[in-house]
Amino acid sequence: MSDRKPEPDTDLESDLADLLGPATGQTAPMVVPVVDDIKLADACLPNVLHKINAFALAKGASGFSMLSGRILDLLWHRRRERKVFISYRRAESQEVARQLQARLTNSGYEVFLDETTIPPGTDFQKALKNWMNDADFVLLLATPQLESSEWVIEEIEFANLASVGLLAVAWPGGKPNVLETLMPDQIFELPDNCLQRMDGSQARLANDDLDKLQLDKQTIEKLLERIESYRLQSIQRRLVNIVPSLHEWARKNGITPEPGNHFGDFLLKTATRSTVTTHLVRVYPFRPTLNSVWDLHQDLANNENVPSNEPLFRASCFYFENDVHNMDYQMLNWILEMRHTKEDENHPNYTLIPYCGQPVDLS
């Protein structure tokens, strides 16, 4: 691509300016400029787009997977962050774990790696499970002797309990039993000659220490492409897996959920002799944040999710929570409780419904 700035298209500039200009009472449109070299963005894009962060489209299929993933992140407001938890056995895959952490971080992910993410003085297992519960999925480095690590086994068991997706990277030279429990689309098979020494020379699995080997660049890029596509599948699967827990919770309270306008939204109606009140429950495949509640509030303000004329007295975030004493939950719950102290007849109360494996009460 040339670094020579193209002749300005005045009609395009005018149309984009109108599109991006302030529109009172309307939701701002989404524009994602795409370039093949971020350094040349100013030269390639119209002036009106210079203030918008561009997306650098990498060559090959991985670039399109990343672009589609980012666009879906923006369109589906329930998840803005991109979080991945790396589970591995240090004695076999420490360098690969570090390599993947660096590459994923460079691609916009927030990555959990035990040796760098958990600060000193922290309850290690509690912090680990809190982080995993909030991850999009677990990237499992399935080395031959993986199951000799009791910590990794515990991480796999918790991921299954919390319905967090697992994407296993299967090493050549032996397959751990955990792979037998996974679907084919949950396994990324490493080719035989993809591991190399730190100096870039070809590794020999029989002679080299596995924890000192890395993946070659081509394999890293193919894995990144798979990660991009699997992440969206994992979030959707977890949402689907949590929905039955909502039905169990509602049945315990004597209510039959009715589907809302959006997948994962449900209406719970209770009637008295004089009124019918509606409780909107939105299922989340991760721990909600203040942004989550704000997006829910915006949807309700725009009448997007309540196909009902009955008054809405409560809107709740329903999700799997492994620890109701963790700081993230406590802070958000405190903010919502403080908001309830102010009378606001035009908006419902917002609450969190953490599901911990047993139905919880409406009260």
**CATH number of the domain at 79-238, please?**
3.40.50.10140
Q: What is the pLDDT of residue 300?
A: 79
Q: What is the pLDDT of residue 249?
A: 87
Consecutive sets of 10 residues in the chain, 363 residues long: mean pLDDT of each?
52 59 53 77 76 70 64 62 93 92 92 89 87 95 92 94 94 86 92 75 58 85 91 90 90 87 86 77 91 85 60 84 86 83 65 74 43
The domains of the chain are located at 10-57, 79-238, 253-355
Q: What is the pLDDT of residue 100?
A: 96
Estimate the crossing angle of helix 124-133 against helix 150-161, to 10 degrees: 40
Q: Which amino acid does the sequence have at 358? A: Q
Q: What is the pLDDT of residue 276?
A: 74
Quick check: helix, strand or coil at residue 253?
coil
Q: What is the pLDDT of residue 165?
A: 95
Q: What is the pLDDT of residue 362?
A: 41
Q: What is the pLDDT of residue 19?
A: 54
Burial 132-146 (b: 16+ CB within 10 A, else e): bbbbbbbbbbbbbeb
Q: 64 vs 67, 107, 111, CA distance in Å?
A: 5, 13, 21
Q: What is the pLDDT of residue 4?
A: 53
Model pTM? Answer: 0.78
